[in-house]
A and B are shown apart, each in its own frame.
Chain A
Amino acid sequence: MSQNDPITLEIIQNSLQAAADEMFAAMRKTAMSSIIYEVLDMGTGITDAEGRIASSGAGIPAFIGVLDKSVQFILSKHEDIRPGDVFITNDPWYGGVTHLNDLVLAMPVFVDGRLIAWTANIAHNSDVGGMAPGSLSGEATEIFQEGLRLPAVKLIREGETDQAVMDIITCNSRMPDFLLGDVWAAIASVRVGARRLEGLATKYGADTFIRAMQSFMEFGEKTALAELANLPKGTFELDEEQDDGRIFNVKITITDTEFLVDLRDNPDQDVGPTNTSRDGTMVCAQMVFKALTDPDSPANDGSFRPLKVLTREGSIFHAQEPAAIGFYFETEVRVYDLIWRCLAPHIPERLPAGHFSSICGTFIGGIHPDTGRQYTIIEPQIGGWGAWEGRDGNPCIFSGFHGETYNTPAEISEARNGLFVDRMALNTEPGGEGQFSGGRGLVLEYRIRTQNGFLTAGYTRSRIKPWGLEGAEEGSGNYVEVIKNGETERYSFVSGLGLTTDDVIRVVTSCGAGYGDPKARDPEAVKRDVKDGILSAERARDIHGVEV
């Protein structure tokens, strides 16, 4: 049998997936920052020689479409690419896509002197310098204030670490030990992937290996086009008001061969850090497109080929250098939700009602009272998801931006961060009721144990709440409260707020929105909700029309 038969190609494709998963496992087990090993704010991937994504590991969907763009930038910048090299970038104007905390490492894979593929990963590092601990500040107005910029440079030359680059990176961090540990975890990960790919290509031959990757991408494109044919055709448009009063607009045109997302009619880039790069906007559109067309199989370059995105340079979705981009993720999750919301009424069988739809990025730092060491909490939150016809929404899972991501256990948080977790519970505030109700959000209370701590948080979907479908109630909204001396202050954006002993930070995430008329809800389900204490008897009567 020839080496190019479909079975051989299939075996190579399965092995690419296994290699991407292996890279993910290696990184997770060796990382030093909890945002990487616990929250898994990271991703791994394999691209072909030209930087087209061929396979990706677990992790978060918002990182799947990043690595190809990084590799493509490296290819455009560097002539001299050799076996054993490892490149590093973190800057959206140099292939970094997201923000400076996210270090991307990429390693070329050679067989017999021929470049056949790249292995790459991305992970959120705890501190890369800049004006604020954790590198993220709501006060930033330029990228220069958000940390060290790494413009796609070589970190390792033919297997030899460039100590000068490494020293510059660690010297710029407030947490150099963490950074060094995390960078080495990332190096181990790209190397383990590269070794597997070399083995595969050597065994089956480089030509067969390359053909397998191409065929995998063609398969992804075929799948996407086949599903595109089943979507309603036409142009759909939505204007949506944001928490801060700005209006975001999207126009989506679906034809048999193309899915066009037009985001040109949107506000100018911001003076603050909520801008996103064009590449980042593209990633968001890719996430919705994949969920619509083929949520089951792994994504590759082909999966996204029918997608086109139009942006306007200088707008919030296509920021120009040197805009601040630290909180890019809240803007990305807004674009993602905007596209989803625009299409949901037209394709309700594929798109549930609105979810809490915010990263709810929460940053708390200070000195650990027992160890005297600096601690930093950097965490996205979990929240309620929207219902769909036939099922209530999920309670407390990560937003559409995150995926195979884990929250931090209270027992570990108390030990690692030296604070108390007083409560971690479902949010039972009213909201999200429908024939099928939205899932419950989260209430999480941290009690601070020392002086001189700080809180930074940036939540959206606070004033403008998750949107219901078919007559259901909207969700309840995301916010954070700080309780000092019995006085409670409520925020959705707060930067560098001082904290002291016994202050309580209460994170509250939104319930998901409902689907269908609340009066049509099965009375048994209403009674169960009341018995479980997630719905009040009054609300059962007023909204659902059921006496309990």
Chain B
Amino acid sequence: MAEITRRVATDVGGTFTDLVAFETAADGTMRIITAKSDTTPPDFETGVLNVLAKGGIDPSEVDFLAHGTTVVINALTERKGVKVGLITTEGFRDTLEIARGNRPDFFNLHYEKPEPFVPRHLRAEVPGRMTYMGEERAALDLSGVAAILDGFRAEGVQAVAISLLHSYANTAHEEALLAEVARLWPEVSVVASHQITREWREYERSNTAVLSAYVQPVAARYLGKLDDGLKAQGFTKSPYIMQSNCGVDSLAATSAVPITMVESGPASGFWGAAELGKLIGEPDILALDIGGTTAKCSLVEGGEVRIMTDYWIERSRKSAGYPIMVPVVDLVEIGNGGGSIAWVDDFGKLHVGPQSAGAVPGPAAYGKGGTEATTTDANLWLGRINRDYFCGGEVEADIASAEKALSAVGEKLGVSTDEAARGIIRIANNNMVNALKLVSLNRGHDTRDFTLLAFGGGGAMHGVALGQELQVKKVVVPAAASVFSAWGMMMSDLRRDYFVTQLADLTEGAGALIEGVFAEAEAKARATFAEEGVDPGRVTFLRYGKFRYQNQEHTTEVLIEGEVTDGKLDRIAEDFHAAYEREYTYRLSAPVEMVGIHLVARAEVGKLTMKPEELTDAPASDALKGQRDVDYALEGTHEADIYDGEKLLPGMSFTGPAIIEDSGSTVVIHPGNRVSIDAYRNIHIEIGEQRS
């Protein structure tokens, strides 16, 4: 019997815990298993073990297990972390409360500034100062720390955050304070800002340390119980934990600084997009993930995702939110998903989202008491979703409720139910187009050079219409689009992103200075990987410099190949000028300076290898299951061919108007589109002449 390699991804969501497993035989043939079970708060590991059992997976036979979880983002948004005490530099205890002073909702005189996560009486100060160049200006005085910690204990503090001025430039004071806290109070959970980031801006860095401390005990308990539960069932390794930077990290590292998994959910899907793009020869991808309540999009260029550190939670036009300075895939998220509610304001204007009908009651057509029209109801009404195969046949569509909800919208707008449904789709699509423009056109990328990859439960339904609007090269819907994020998790490398602030003019001597910063970060990365038993030969690096014109603030990242020397500075500057001009349309003759580095350290840890299937000569009509009328909004109503997604084989092709249905998703193919199925069963849709 051939040896089988088993790779498993589990993903804990708010409602369901998902599983995808790939069993690869020695000859490369593959079997895919999916399963779903209820999420089981507060003992989330139970749900993970349940879903493994449901999928028939024996943990003792698993070779690689990746795990994604919303535990961190949930603990933050539901305010279910622990009580935190903050120790900071003398004169700066109020940094956390002062924040940046902005009023995004600027005409609103009743604006409510976000409350800090640590109240003033739990924010303590210690004397001692570093300069921005990392020199000690005043020695650190630890004499008051014992009293500070006594006060924290008396108040029931469970985690301590440390953030000192200029620790990005010199970590010595933070390290000494960290050691002192550990010495005086060994049981307490403690984190210093430099352990998470080496970038400047004291409010953002302090808030990051505080939020990490806030979730650390919760996340460590969760991960510990998961590890124990898997080991008890015979799993001999440790799971890898999905991170916000599109990589996975070890369980031990994640337990220490859990804040790095804050956006791990979307990250796995976008990494999947990058990997799939490489597989099918489309390295430039606009990735779109449409779920139940939101749509998220990101841009992949040359097979690489873009990672940033200016991430915020709860930030909107109405609130300043809270910054978290960790590497997060650059994404734009909007409140438009399948469950988004359509509503008409007092002045007769139609809106879609951001409120969502959620899982309960869900869209009106679920028949669970929902009375408000959602995007899903509109898609159903227009024939885009099959009335007789709703949610993969698991739910009987309540057409009467959907009609009632849609006609109520129509009445308020003074239009027919059909018009209301079309309006909802058009508004939702426009919201998504604007989000896609933010990550593409807005940053100097021409969408005509990109392939739109649409996934998630609703991606396939809207992908073609959006692709036509943006005039992309083509639209691709991946095989098993609804569990694509789990696939992405299995394609992830062990990955860490190091950001270090270091100012340097690109003048003589800068080469050695910059090389030194990269070399130090690389040595640190190698040492950390070595401690975890990762073969140094498998570690690879990508070096990015963050550059700007002298006196500017915002930087542009430039990929740097090989060792940095003075002789290379001109080339680096030219690369910067070119990248800058593409994004901002002009270049200056001003001097260029470096502000810091971004080092990507990666080690492959046994990710999946896909094997292409043979292409068939069979006609697509073998998968045809009938025709029905589909309303394409501005393109009118057409009789569309309905294909069974499960029966479409590699090599088949056909033209629209058509619909592809499988148990997880519906692909809407517009008139004139040309469709082909590739060797990995991905659906490629060449869009015809552009329409609106």
Interface string of A87-105 (1 = CB under 8 A from B): 0000000000000000000
Contact present for A58 and B104 (CB under 8 Å): yes
> Complex Cα distance A104/B554, Å?
22
Residue from B133, B422, B588 with most neighbouring chain A CB atoms (10 Å):
B588
Contact present for A188 and B100 (CB under 8 Å): no
Can you give 23 contacting A-B residue pairs, CB < 8 Å? A1-B633, A15-B434, A26-B584, A29-B554, A32-B549, A61-B107, A177-B550, A181-B551, A181-B552, A181-B588, A295-B107, A350-B109, A382-B101, A395-B98, A397-B101, A398-B103, A400-B109, A402-B103, A403-B102, A406-B101, A425-B93, A425-B94, A445-B91
A412 within 8 Å of B by Cβ? yes
Residue from B97, B101, B202, B442 with most neighbouring chain A CB atoms (10 Å):
B101
Contact present for A410 and B165 (CB under 8 Å): yes
Closest B residue by C-beta to A175: B551
> Complex Cα distance A203/B553, Å?
36
A379-423 interface with B by 8 A CB criterion: 382, 388, 391, 394-398, 400, 402-407, 409-412, 414-415, 420-423
Minimum Cβ distance to chain B for residue A304 (Å) = 12
> Complex Cα distance A443/B634, Å?
59
B484 within 8 Å of A by Cβ? no
A60 within 8 Å of B by Cβ? yes
B185 within 8 Å of A by Cβ? no
Residue from A58, A226, A394 with most neighbouring chain B CB atoms (10 Å):
A394
B346 within 8 Å of A by Cβ? yes
A145 within 8 Å of B by Cβ? no
Chain B interface residue count, Cβ-Cβ cutoff 8 angstroms: 70
Contact present for B350 and A10 (CB under 8 Å): yes
B580-622 interface with A by 8 A CB criterion: 583-586, 588, 590
- The 10 A-B residue pairs with the shortest CB-CB distance, nearest first, are A403-B106, A382-B101, A423-B91, A532-B120, A415-B132, A295-B107, A295-B108, A29-B554, A394-B113, A32-B551
Minimum Cβ distance to chain B for residue A516 (Å) = 16
Contacts of A421 in B (CB 8 A): 91
Contacts of A210 in B (CB 8 A): none
> Complex Cα distance A299/B108, Å?
12
Interface string of A181-224 (1 = CB under 8 A from B): 10011011001100000000001100000000000000100110
Contact present for A1 and B419 (CB under 8 Å): yes
B250-293 interface with A by 8 A CB criterion: none
Closest A residue by C-beta to B168: A411
A270 within 8 Å of B by Cβ? no
Contacts of A184 in B (CB 8 A): 586, 588
Given contacts A34-B553, A181-B590, A403-B104, contact A409 B200 (CB under 8 A): yes
Binding site for B on A (CB under 8 A): 1, 6-8, 10-11, 14-15, 18, 22, 25-26, 28-34, 37-38, 58, 60-61, 177-178, 180-181, 184-185, 187-188, 191-192, 203-204, 219, 222-223, 226, 287, 290-291, 294-296, 299, 350-352, 370, 382, 388, 391, 394-398, 400, 402-407, 409-412, 414-415, 420-426, 439, 442, 445, 531-534
> Complex Cα distance A192/B692, Å?
22
Given contacts A30-B552, A425-B93, contact A219 B590 (CB under 8 A): no
Contact present for A187 and B586 (CB under 8 Å): yes
Closest B residue by C-beta to A534: B120
Minimum Cβ distance to chain A for residue B192 (Å) = 16
Closest B residue by C-beta to A12: B430
- Name 11 extra pairs, CB < 8 A, besides A395-B113, A406-B102, A407-B101: A7-B422, A29-B583, A37-B553, A180-B590, A181-B588, A407-B98, A411-B200, A414-B166, A424-B92, A426-B97, A531-B121
B570 within 8 Å of A by Cβ? no
B427 within 8 Å of A by Cβ? yes
Residue from A1, A37, A402 with most neighbouring chain B CB atoms (10 Å):
A1
A411's partner among B132, B550, B634 (CB-CB below 8 A) is B132
Contacts of A33 in B (CB 8 A): 551
Interface string of B422-435 (1 = CB under 8 A from A): 11001100110010
B107's partner among A287, A397, A405 (CB-CB below 8 A) is A287
Contact present for A351 and B586 (CB under 8 Å): no
Contact present for A425 and B120 (CB under 8 Å): no
Closest B residue by C-beta to A40: B102
> Complex Cα distance A204/B106, Å?
32
Contacts of B203 in A (CB 8 A): 409
B225 within 8 Å of A by Cβ? no
Closest A residue by C-beta to B203: A409
B571 within 8 Å of A by Cβ? no
Contacts of B346 in A (CB 8 A): 226
Closest A residue by C-beta to B111: A394
B102's partner among A6, A350, A397, A531 (CB-CB below 8 A) is A397
B95's partner among A10, A180, A350, A424 (CB-CB below 8 A) is A424
Contact present for A192 and B585 (CB under 8 Å): yes
B420-478 interface with A by 8 A CB criterion: 422-423, 426-427, 430-431, 434, 437-438, 442
Minimum Cβ distance to chain B for residue A394 (Å) = 4
Contacts of B98 in A (CB 8 A): 382, 395-396, 407, 424-426, 442
Given contacts A402-B103, A414-B131, contact A7 B434 (CB under 8 A): no
Contact present for B113 and A397 (CB under 8 Å): yes
B503 within 8 Å of A by Cβ? yes
